Structures are given as C-alpha cells and as structure tokens.
C-alpha cells in the first residue's frame, strides 16, 4: 500500500499532472476529429483518394512516438513550447482510427437508402447531414474511442520532451528505480484510459441509430 | 407551377428522343424512343440487364443520357434544377430504402419537409397517406425495422406519394415480397391508381404483374425497346420475342390481362 500512500502524499502533483495529461489528450483528440472526420467524409465520397489518405495515416502510425515528438523540435512556433509539439504528435497518431472509421461508417450506409434519398431530391449536403452522418455516428465514435485510449497511453511519452503529463512520474520513477513513483503515473493514466473508453462508449450507445 | 400550365394537358408527360446511355465501352441503352401519356401505367418489361432500371433512372436523372434527350412535361431534364425535378417525381424501389433512423411518419413526410411545408400540414398529410396505403395509424410512430416487408413497401409508396407528384417511378416495388403480400399490394395499387390517376412507369420482369397492372407494356431487350403493346395485344402478338416471353410464363394469362382492362 506504499503506492497509495505515495499518491496521497503527492496528490496535488498527481492531480496537476493528470490535468496536464488531459490537456494534451483533449486538444489532440479535438484536433484529430476536426481534421479526421472531414477527411474521412471526403475519401468516402472520392474513392480515388482513399488509398493515398489511409496509406499516409498508416505510415504516420509506424513512426516511433519518441522520434515523432523530437521530429518537430526545430519547427519555429511549435518548438517554443513542448506541449504544442506533444499535441501535434498525438493528433497525428489519433488521425488514423478517426479517418478510417469515418470512412467505414459512411461507406457502410445502405446503398438503397442513399439512392432513395437522392431519388427524392435530397441535395448532397442534406444526404450527408440527415442520412450519412447520423447513420455513421456510432462507427465514427468507436474510432474516436480507440484514438483517445491510444492518446492517453502515448501522452506519457510526452514527458520525455518536457511536455508534462503523468509521464513525468514514470520517467522520474525509472530514473530513481522506484516502482511507487512509476505507478503514481501509470495508475492514474490507466484510470484515465478506462474512463475515456467508458465515456465515449456510452456516448456511442446513446447516439446509435435504431 | 403545378396547375394550370398548358403543359398539363398537351403532349406526353414523359418523352424519350433517341436516347442512348453508355458507361465506358458498354452500351446500356441504344436509340430509345418512347412516350408516356398522362394517367397511364407504362410497364417496362424485360430480363435482368435489359436496361429497364436505367430507363427509369433516366427520367429522374439519376443517370444522364450520353445522347438524345429526355423530357418531362415538355422540359428537358438535363436543364433546370435536378432536385426540383426529383421532388416532383415519386420514386419507389425494391429495397424500399427507408431511413432506418427516421420513424415511419418522418419517412413519409420527407419530401414535404424538403419542400418546407409547415409542420401542421406535413402531419395532416402523413396521417392521410398512412390511411391511403392501408397502414394502421399506430405504425406511424414505429421505426422501419419494426415493420414487415409488406408494411415497409406500403410506407415506401406513401413516401413517394407524399408531395402529390404527377409522376410515379416504381422499380420492381413488389419483387421482394412473398406471393400473398405481393398479390395484395398489386390489387391495392390498381385501386389506388384508379383513384389517383398518376402517370406511372413501372419496372418488372414478371409478365403476370405487367399484364395485371399495365395500360401498356414496353418490352426491352439488350438496351433496346422492342415493342410497346397493350396487355391483350401482348398475349396475341406473333413477334417471336414477345411470344417467347409469353411461353416462358406458361398458360392462364388471359384472365389476368382482361382483369386489368375491365
């Protein structure tokens, strides 16, 4: 129970780093949704682009996290603050599941439903907002859920470039060879991931079309 | 726009002039000339891949001709607003294509909603249509997945009729139903059509259905229109392809053809 006592003794710091962690994950998820959902919609309607876009997002996924964090260091505005760097890198990682699920969700809408809508004189934007997006929402959200859970884990590495977050405890603990300190970062991170998974999963069920 | 125009009386409602449709190298429709008169039910009959559905989709511009012209009420479909054209034409397909996340009432009220009718008028119209197609009023609040196949297609027909279009396009609407339900819906279609007098273009490969429902039958083969005949003439025709079609369906067709004209 050493760990619990350690976390309790340092609870203000644990809370502070958890909030930093949430800051990184929250911003990167919002940005990834703002970029990824429109991109997913685009490639669902322009099948010629799908391989290129999904391929690029896939390649980003293969770059090791630490390398990606360091990669943008020399970029002027980004390099000034390490949390900007971290948010950018996390956004790039979150893109693939969000783009892919948006694409799959929209392509998965029954073709006869689209044809009926078009045949009755719905414009392309009416089809998108009233039919495609509502029917794809739960698939898109399950992509967001994957993205958030990945981000919570990856954000611990952001501490390596001084962006803060719960990774601070983990790296410190590694340096001190002290499991209590490592767990003071790892446990709240795991809890965050579970809560995010549960939260978005709940939203997914609520918004699922009947 | 809907009433009192000279086009409402003179000339065919739908007209194909030398229409061809090609996808890449494939010739789907070749040199189609066809006129559909006001209030008639024209059947497009033919085997799979003969170009029936494409012909239907040329009318509401879900496909555009590669050559020739399609006119609806004298106006070229290629000109003018395509969504306006489509909202004035009811469209019923075999898969129905109801919106799964909309209630039955919202599905039926779709085109009126697109046309920005006031809510009260939409509600009244939906109520009227539910009755017209023989659905129980309490079904209006349900979702499509809670309905049987026959009920779904009734909703599909009601949806197509919602904004009171002059033209109705029907693509094998009863093709996926069990024989009893199909028979029921065919009869109701006849009753409804006598009452509403829409200009209907109806795609089917079922000769029995064609004879029962059609005022005229247009037989298609490999993207070409072979002949257009009234049901009774169709059975008597000596044209080898027509005769082959009649033979394939066996005997007992005369009463069907007579029933529709009586």
Any idea of the CA torsion for B50, B53, B59, B61, to the nearest 10 degrees? -110
Give the max Cα distance, chain B.
56
ipTM value, please give it.
0.88
Query: Which portions of chain B are predicted below pLDDT 50?
Result: 1-7, 262
Do the Cβ atoms of B173 and B93 come closer than 8 Å?
yes
Measured in angstroms, the CA of A121 and the nearest CA of chain B are apart by 4
Q: Which residue has the tokens 């007579």?
A: B258
Tell me: the pLDDT tens digits for B130-172? 999 999 999 999 999 999 999 999 999 999 999 999 999 999 9
Chain A residues with CB inside 8 Å of B93's CB? Answer: 112, 115-116, 119
Give the number of beta-carbon pairs within 8 Å between A and B. 64
Listed residue (B110, B113, B23) closest to B63, CA to CA: B23
Interface test with chain B among A119, A208, A210, by most B beta carbons within 10 Å: A119
Measured in angstroms, the CA of A107 and the nearest CA of chain B are apart by 15
User: Which H or E run includes B91?
Assistant: strand B89-93
Strands B216-221 and B199-204: unpaired
Whether residues B91 and A119 touch (CB distance < 8 A) is answered with: yes
Measured in angstroms, the CA of B209 and the nearest CA of chain A are apart by 23
Whether residues B111 and A112 touch (CB distance < 8 A) is answered with: no
Residue B172 sits at φ, ψ, to 5 deg, of 45, 55
What is the Cα–Cα distance from A115 to B93, expressed in whole angstroms?
Answer: 9
Whether residues B83 and A135 touch (CB distance < 8 A) is answered with: no
pLDDT at position A69 is 78
Whether residues A121 and B86 touch (CB distance < 8 A) is answered with: yes
| Tens of each residue's pLDDT in chain A, 210 residues | 688 899 899 889 999 999 999 999 999 999 999 999 999 999 999 989 999 999 999 998 888 888 887 778 788 888 778 888 899 999 999 999 999 999 999 999 999 999 999 999 999 999 999 999 999 999 999 999 999 999 999 999 988 888 889 999 999 999 999 999 999 999 999 999 999 999 999 998 888 765
Which CB contacts under 8 angstroms, 24+ apart, belong to B231-237? B231/B256, B231/B257, B231/B260, B231/B261, B232/B257, B232/B258, B232/B261, B234/B210, B235/B211
Q: What is the pTM of this model?
A: 0.87
pLDDT at position B101 is 94
Do the Cβ atoms of B98 and A116 come closer than 8 Å?
yes
């Amino acid at each position: 129970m050493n760990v619990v006592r350690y976390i309790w003794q340092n609870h203000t710091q644990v809370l502070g780093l958890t909030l930093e962690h949430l800051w990184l994950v929250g911003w990167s998820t919002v940005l990834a949704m703002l970029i990824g959902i429109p991109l997913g919609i685009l490639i669902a309607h322009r099948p010629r682009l799908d391989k290129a876009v999904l391929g690029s997002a896939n390649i980003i996924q293969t770059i090791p996290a630490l390398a990606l964090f360091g990669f943008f260091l020399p970029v002027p505005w980004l390099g000034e603050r390490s949390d900007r760097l971290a948010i950018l890198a996390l956004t790039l990682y979150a893109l693939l599941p969000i783009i892919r699920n948006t694409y799959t969700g929209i392509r998965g809408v029954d073709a006869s439903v689209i044809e009926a809508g078009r045949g009755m004189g719905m414009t392309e934007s009416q089809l998108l907002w009233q039919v495609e997006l509502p029917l794809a929402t739960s698939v898109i959200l399950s992509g967001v859920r994957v993205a958030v859970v990945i981000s919570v884990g990856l954000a611990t590495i952001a501490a390596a470039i001084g962006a803060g977050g719960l990774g601070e405890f983990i790296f410190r603990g590694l340096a001190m060879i002290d499991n209590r300190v490592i767990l003071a970062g790892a446990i709240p991170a795991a809890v965050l991931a579970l809560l995010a998974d549960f939260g978005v999963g709940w939203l997914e069920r609520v918004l699922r079309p009947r | 726009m809907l009433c009192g125009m000279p086009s409402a009386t003179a000339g065919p409602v739908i007209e194909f002039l030398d229409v061809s449709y090609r996808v890449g190298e494939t010739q789907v429709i070749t040199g189609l000339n066809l006129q559909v008169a006001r209030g008639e039910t024209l059947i497009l009959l033919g085997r799979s891949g003969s170009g029936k559905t494409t012909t239907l989709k040329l009318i509401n511009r879900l496909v555009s001709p590669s050559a020739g012209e399609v006119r609806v009420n004298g106006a070229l479909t290629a000109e003018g607003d395509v969504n306006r054209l489509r909202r004035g034409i009811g469209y019923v397909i075999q898969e129905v294509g109801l919106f799964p996340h909309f209630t039955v009432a919202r599905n039926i009220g779709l085109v009126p909603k697109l046309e920005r009718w006031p809510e009260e008028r939409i509600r009244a119209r939906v109520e009227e249509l539910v009755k017209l197609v023989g659905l129980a009023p309490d079904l209006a609040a349900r979702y499509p997945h809670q309905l049987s196949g026959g009920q779904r297609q009734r909703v599909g027909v009601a949806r197509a009729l919602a904004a009171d279009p002059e033209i109705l396009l029907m693509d094998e609407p009863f093709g996926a139903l069990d024989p009893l339900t199909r028979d029921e819906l065919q009869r109701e279609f006849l009753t409804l059509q006598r009452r509403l007098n829409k200009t209907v273009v109806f795609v089917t490969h079922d000769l029995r259905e064609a004879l029962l429902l059609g005022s005229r039958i247009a037989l298609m083969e490999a993207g070409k229109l072979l002949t257009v005949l009234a049901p009774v003439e169709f059975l008597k025709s000596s044209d080898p392809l027509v005769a082959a079609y009649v033979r394939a369906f066996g005997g007992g067709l005369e009463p069907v053809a007579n029933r529709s004209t009586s």
